Amino acid sequence: MELEFLGTNAGVPSLQRNVTSIALRMFEERRAFWLFDCGEATQHQILRSSLKLSKLEKIFITHLHGDHIFGLPGLLSSRAYQGGTTKLTVYGPPGLKQYIEVSLMLSQSRIEYELEVIEHTGGIVFEDEDVTVESLLLDHRIDSYGYRIAEKDKPGSLDLKRLAEYGLKPGPAYGRLKRGESIDLGNGKTLHPDDVLGQPKKGRIVTILGDTRPCDNVIELARDADLLVHEATFMHDLKESAYNYHHCTSIQAAEAAVAAGAKELILTHFSSRYKDQEHLQPLLDEAQSVFPKTLLAEEFMLFPVLRHT
C-alpha cells in the first residue's frame, strides 16, 4: 500500500503542480488502486505515471469544488478506451451524482462499463472483509469530507516448523488454521490456530482529508493513523487568510497530527503563491517544528504506508 500524488496545488493548476488528486495504490492487497479527488487533468497525470485506468476500482470525492472534481467527466468517459471494463464506484457528497450525470449526458459520453455513484453524508461508506472506509464532515465553505481507510487485522504467519512437528504438510489444513478453524489431528488431539499462528498483523490506517479548517472531526478521522494526509494551504503567518478561506496552515496540520496520535504526516494542497519546492520548504520547517515526522507531497513520488506497531 502506497500513496502517489497526482496533484498538490490548491485552487488552480500551475506550471509546477496540478490540482488535487491522490492515488492509493493497493496492487499487492487488491490488484487495484483508489483515487481520492479528481481535479482537472487528472487523467493526464495518470498517463504520466505507471497507473492504468483499467486498475481503478473506486473514486472518493471529498467535496464539489472544481479543483477537486473537474477532471471526473473526462476520466470517466476515457476509462473504457484505456482498458477499463470492470465496475467503477464513485463516492461523494450529495450533488455528485447530478454533476456526473449532467456532464456525461450533455457531452453525449458513453460509458461502456458499470458505473455506480454513491452519495453520502458521512459514516461507513464502504466495507468488505479487508478494509473499512469511514467518512466525517469537515469545516469548509461547502460540505467537505475526510476519509479514514482502515485495514482489518490479519492472522499471523503460520509456524511451519511447529506444523511439521504435528505431521501437517501444506494443504487445506493450512488454510483452515489461517481462517481461525481448529484441526482434528486424528489421534484424539485437536490443533488450535493459537498453537501455530504468530501475532496478528495489525491493519494500517490512512486518513485523507478534504479542504478544512481545524475541527474535531479531523482528530477523529486521524486517530492513531499510520499516515495522515492534511491540507496545508498557507504558512502560519497567513492564518487569518486560512481561516477566512476555510483552510489550514502547516502548523495547524502538524498540531492535528499530534492531537490525533498519527504516526506520519504528509502536507498537500499548497497555495500557488508557493511556486516550487524551495518556496514550500518553510511550510515543511514550520510543520516539523511541531511534528517532526512530516513530509511534503510531491507529484509522482511514491509514499509507502508503513505498518507501525
CA within 13 Å, CB half, 301: 10
- H or E stretch at 291: none
Candidates 27, 53, 28; CA nearest to 38 is: 53
Angle between helices 277-290 and 250-260 in degrees, nearest 10: 40
**Model pTM?**
0.91
pLDDT score recorded for residue 264: 98
Residue 309 has pLDDT above 80, yes or no: no
Where does 2-154+201-304 sit in CATH, by number? 3.60.15.10
Rounded-to-integer distance, Cα 24 and Cα 1, Å? 7
* Residues ≥6 apart with Cβ < 8 Å to 54: 79, 82, 83, 84, 85, 86
Q: How far apart are the first and last CA of the chain?
A: 16
Q: Are 251 and 287 in contact (CB under 8 A)?
A: yes
Residues tagged active-site? 67
pLDDT at 207: 98
**196 half-sphere exposure, CB direction, 13 A CA radius:** 26
Q: What is the pLDDT of residues 86-137, one digit of tens each?
A: 999 999 999 999 999 999 999 999 999 999 999 999 999 999 999 999 999 9
Provide the pLDDT for residue 187: 81
Could you list the residues known to form a binding site, using ranges: 63, 65, 67-68, 140, 211, 269
In this predicted structure, what is the pLDDT of residue 6? 98
Is the pLDDT higher at 80 or at 19? 19
Task: Kindly indicate the confidence band of residue 252, based on its pLDDT and cuts at 50, 70 and 90.
Answer: very high
234 falls in which pLDDT band (50, 70, 90)?
A: very high
Residue ranges at the known binding site for Zn(2+): 63, 65, 67-68, 140, 211, 269
Which pairs from 271-276 meet CB under 8 Å and 24+ separation?
271/10, 271/11, 271/233, 271/234, 272/9, 272/10, 272/11, 272/12, 272/14, 272/17, 274/235, 275/14, 275/16, 276/16
Average pLDDT over residues 37-57: 97
Q: Output the pLDDT for position 194.
A: 84
Instruction: Provide the residue type at 73 as one letter.
Output: P
- Domain regions of the chain by residue span: 2-154+201-304, 160-196
How do residues 152-207 score in pLDDT, each as one tens digit? 998 788 888 888 888 888 888 888 888 788 888 878 788 888 888 888 889 999 99
- On the question of pLDDT at 272 being above 90, the answer is yes
